[in-house]
Chains A and B, each alone.
Chain A
Amino acid sequence: MEKFGFTITKGRQIDYEANDRGVAGYIYEKEPSFRLCIECGGCSATCTTANMTKFSLRELNILIKRGENDQVRKSIQKCMLCGKCSLVCPRGVNTRNVVFLARQAFQKNGQYAI
């Protein structure tokens, strides 16, 4: 049979129930300020990595909370942990620690290990 090169793409919809939000739970417990993010994007604006690549800490925050782990796992390695993001955050979120803990959570969970 002739192959036309069509594939079925994965749906873009976030299925809240189906996702595993264990990473978010891990961070909430150790860094409660993670709850305070209002997605203003100040962190991404100051981020050197974000200026050079497609990395966005703001987006990462929301994806962790939604349990979109594949995307988070790929993206999170780009952070250099400089902590500039923590300096600008108007809600006092320890953003650097959020990234740090997210990496730790992935490391602890074999399924998502970096």
Chain B
Amino acid sequence: MSKHVIVIGGGVAGLEAAGRLSLEGLEVSLLEKDKITGGHLNRWFRLFPDRRDSTEVKNYLDGLTHVNNVRLLTNITVEKLEKEKDHFTVMTTEGKELKADAVIVATGFDLFKSSRKEEYGYGIYDNVITSADLEDMFREGDIVTREGEVPSNIGIVHCVGSRDEKVGNLYCSKLCCVTAVKQAIEIREQLPESKVFCFYMDMRMGGAHYEELYREAQEVWGVNFIRGKVSEASETIDKKVVVKVEDTLAGRPLKMKLDMLVLMAGMEMSEGGKKIAEMTGLKTGENRFFEVADHHFGSNRSDIEGLFYAGTCTAPMNITETISHARAAVSEVVEYLKKS
């Protein structure tokens, strides 16, 4: 009889892991809390660094699970997750009970709630939006202020909810810098008359082709980069946003009036992940993501044998890294099931 594996979370990591497990001849159930799979991928319009359509990746992942007969259970939330001897039991809020020989937790991340940084005025000022809101505008092909006007000066704030002790997140979310560069280019593409200003602490262009994209933003699209953390934003009577920042490279404070301010929301451990941690006692780190067994050679392993991690529930990762991490989780599961 073939062994059964449960994958919790139907985002990029969960889909990749489920599809690959099935390819290995295992019986796989994929649990997703939303109506549809894909997670954050559904909200992003184009992806860095090559600005490809996100549906291409979505289609690849969906294809992988369809072809390989993964049992897909959507609108499902895990209520209880227990291990007894070699078997896992998952109870869902809908009262379903599932048994499995191994589990992959792929509960992903949540975007930082930007309203927590009150000084930037998200949810208070009309024209302060997040990177995710901007993606919606890209999809609609309609970048406008709340008043329905085409913005000419747009600011982008890096590190919103990342590298910030004040919100309890000491870590770098890794993706926001390159997302800012990508979105700055897309704004300039759609609004050639506009000016875009990125306010950054450090430009962390560590991924493949990121630095080249940064250079393209400067060279081809004339995006302006100002080094300094925006300390506060305020709204004028005509609904513009005035930001205060130290231009640290000029060594002088700077004030600028913008038509729109975009906040690069960071990544946090998902609420779903936190619940799993509570019900299982799985360790989480100082950054609240799941603590892996070994940072170098055991980043898929947990402190429960037979339960593995895939993707951003362990740390911020881009899609490439998430897919690799999910594949690695699959090989861990296969190895584990061979032994047991």
Contacts and interface: CB of A to CB of B under 8 A. Distances in A.
Given A14-B250, A65-B224, A35 B255 contact: no
A65 to B, nearest CB: 7
- Report the contact-size class of chain B (Cβ under 8 Å from the partner): 10 to 19
Interface string A13-25: 1111100000000
Given A59-B249, A62-B249, A66-B247, A14 B254 contact: yes
Interface in A14-42: 14-17, 28, 32-33, 35-36, 38-39
Interface of B: 203, 215, 218-219, 222, 224-225, 227, 247, 249-257
A63 interface: yes
Given A28-B222, A62-B247, A14 B215 contact: no
Given A16-B257, A38-B203, A63-B250, 6 more contacts: A14-B250, A14-B254, A35-B222, A36-B215, A62-B250, A66-B250
Contacts of A35: 218-219, 222
Contacts of B222: 28, 35
Nearest to A28: B222
Interface of A: 12-17, 28, 32-33, 35-36, 38-39, 58-59, 62-63, 65-66, 68, 91
B76 to A, nearest CB: 48
A12 B215 contact: no
Nearest to B250: A62
Nearest to B203: A38
A54 to B, nearest CB: 12
Contact of A12 (B219, B225, B253): B253
Contact of B253 (A13, A32, A33): A13
B256 A17 contact: yes
Contact of B255 (A13, A28, A59, A63): A13
A13 B219 contact: no
Closest 3 CB pairs of A and B: A16-B256, A14-B254, A13-B253
A63 B251 CA distance: 10
A58 B257 contact: no
